[in-house]
DNA sequence: AAGACTGACAACCGCATCGAA
DNA sequence: TTTCGATGCGGTTGTCAGTCT
């Protein structure tokens, strides 16, 4: 007797999400917050299982997601973290603000693995590939696994000691001269990283969003939004919607050296994110906004530009 | 021009884990 | 303490655009 399926699969839709489904899900979460994923599809009027909704939200609809290729820095961080954590993608993702475990996992499998192999580094062990002694590989893997297990055990022990004596744990970690510092299974990669600072959580630790807690950044004054044609009237656009009230506030000033714009951020919402949402939320205005004329779309050449799948190009 | 192949990534599946009853 | 439902996580698969032949 197997485990019961997470949901009644009869009549449930599978496959790519449509814009309409995205809109329903976003509207629902904006009005109700994230709660009880199993109930979400029913309440939101979606023929999807809760799991699918959760995945869609966390991986693609969440407003605090960065899109596009990982930067060099991010890539290097992923490599460093993978060396320490192995395939624990969610842990790795939690140290890259705006990135999801799925995204990192895919990027690892499609880009980084190859890159490392090209450089003569075994992506599994992060050690130079021994070309002369292929049979040594399995042994190496075993050793890597052993090392990982030992590290895990150490982490657990350290965690325990941290609970009893947190200061000594931090002191220990401060002695490390590596660029990344693990504190209670959390790697502080950049002490100035806003995502690390804001509210003490990062992307993968996004708290339940309640409508009243959603803070929309100040309307970008000029060029912060890549979708300029749609950004210009984003507030009006939102007002047109019967969406929950938003609080337009400047809670966090980020001094972007590139454009010197002071913008508001909360949970990683920035001008671009918001503009994307702007496009997504109300597909009735879809034609009016002519979003496909915008440079944003050109960033995603793979996207199919029809109404069904336009959402994919928006983030 | 068309079919085959490849790469990238979105989405699914099933097991693990957590927490409430 | 046990059971069970909900959610999280990592591996795998499916789909589609781009490239090659």
Mean pLDDT of chain A: 56
User: Apex CA A49: angle with CA A48 and CA A55, to 5°?
Assistant: 95
The CA–C1' separation of A168 and B12, in angstroms, is 44
Which nt is closest to the CA of A36, judged by C1'? C6
- Statement: the CB of A56 is under 7 Å from strand B: yes
User: Average pLDDT, stretch A278-284?
Assistant: 46
- Digit-coded pLDDT (tens) for A263-273: 333 333 333 44
The CA–C1' separation of A204 and B21, in angstroms, is 29
Helix (H) or strand (E) holding A231: helix A228-231
Q: Which residue is nearest to nucleotide B11 (CA to C1')?
A: A15
User: Apex CA A184: angle with CA A179 and CA A189, to 5°?
Assistant: 25
User: Average pLDDT, stretch A260-285?
Assistant: 41
pLDDT of A255 > 70? The answer is: no
pLDDT at residue A150, rounded to an integer: 52
pLDDT at residue A192, rounded to an integer: 35
- Statement: the CB of A262 is under 7 Å from strand C: no
- Alpha-carbon distance of A308 to A315, in angstroms, equals 15
| Structural domain A19-61, CATH architecture | Orthogonal Bundle (1.10)
DSSP-derived secondary structure letter, A170: H
User: Apex CA A314: angle with CA A310 and CA A315, to 5°?
Assistant: 135
Residues 14-33 of chain A with CB under 7 A from strand C are 15-16
What is the percent of chain A with per-residue pLDDT over 90, rounded to a whole number? 0
pLDDT of A132 > 80? The answer is: no
Which nt is closest to the CA of A51, judged by C1'? C7
Question: Which bases of chain B are contacted by protein, using any atom under 7 A from a CB?
Answer: 7-15
- Digit-coded pLDDT (tens) for A219-240: 333 333 333 333 333 333 333 3
pLDDT at residue A86, rounded to an integer: 84
Domain ranges of chain A: 19-61, 72-193, 211-313
- Digit-coded pLDDT (tens) for A78-87: 888 888 888 8
Higher-confidence residue of A77 and A284: namely: A77
pLDDT at residue A10, rounded to an integer: 61
Query: How far is the CA of A27 from the CAs of A5, A52, A202, in angstroms?
Result: 27, 16, 23
pLDDT of A31 > 60? The answer is: yes
For domain A72-193, the question of CATH label 1.10.10.60 is answered with: yes
pLDDT at residue A275, rounded to an integer: 41
Residues 264-303 of chain A with CB under 7 A from strand B are 302
Same fold, A19-61 and A72-193: yes
Does residue A75 contact residue A279 with C-beta atoms inside 8 Å?
A: no
CB atoms within 10 A of CB A80: 18
The CA–C1' separation of A139 and C9, in angstroms, is 27
Query: How far is the CA of A96 from the CAs of A57, A74, A199, A285, in angstroms?
Result: 18, 7, 16, 34
């Amino acid at each position: 007797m197997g485990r019961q399926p997470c949901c009644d699969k009869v009549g449930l839709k599978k496959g790519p999400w449509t814009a309409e489904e995205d809109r329903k899900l976003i509207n629902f979460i904006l009005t109700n917050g994230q709660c009880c994923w199993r109930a979400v599809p029913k309440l939101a009027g979606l023929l999807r299982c809760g799991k699918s909704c959760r995945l869609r939200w966390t991986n693609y609809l969440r407003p605090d997601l960065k899109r596009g290729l990982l930067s060099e820095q991010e890539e290097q961080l992923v490599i460093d973290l993978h060396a320490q954590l192995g395939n624990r993608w969610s842990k790795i993702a939690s140290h890259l603000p705006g990135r999801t475990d799925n995204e990192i996992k895919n990027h690892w499998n499609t880009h980084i693995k190859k890159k490392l192999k090209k450089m003569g580094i075994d992506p599994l062990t992060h050690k130079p590939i021994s070309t002369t002694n292929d049979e040594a590989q399995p042994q190496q893997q075993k050793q890597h696994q052993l090392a990982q297990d030992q590290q895990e055990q150490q982490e657990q022990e350290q965690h325990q000691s941290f609970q009893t004596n947190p200061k000594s744990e931090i002191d220990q970690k401060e002695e490390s001269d590596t660029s990344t510092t693990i504190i209670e299974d959390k790697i502080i990669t950049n002490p100035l990283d806003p995502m690390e600072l804001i509210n003490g959580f990062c992307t993968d630790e996004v708290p339940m969003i309640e409508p009243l807690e959603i803070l929309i950044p100040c309307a970008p004054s000029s060029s912060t939004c890549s979708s300029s044609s749609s950004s210009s009237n984003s507030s009006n656009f939102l007002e047109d919607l019967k969406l929950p009230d938003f609080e337009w506030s400047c809670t966090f000033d980020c001094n972007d050296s590139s454009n010197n714009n002071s913008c508001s951020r909360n949970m990683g919402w920035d001008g671009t994110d918001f503009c994307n949402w702007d496009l997504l939320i109300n597909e009735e205005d879809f034609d009016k906004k002519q979003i496909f004329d915008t440079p944003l779309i050109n960033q995603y050449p793979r996207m199919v530009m029809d109404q069904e799948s336009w959402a994919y190009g928006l983030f």
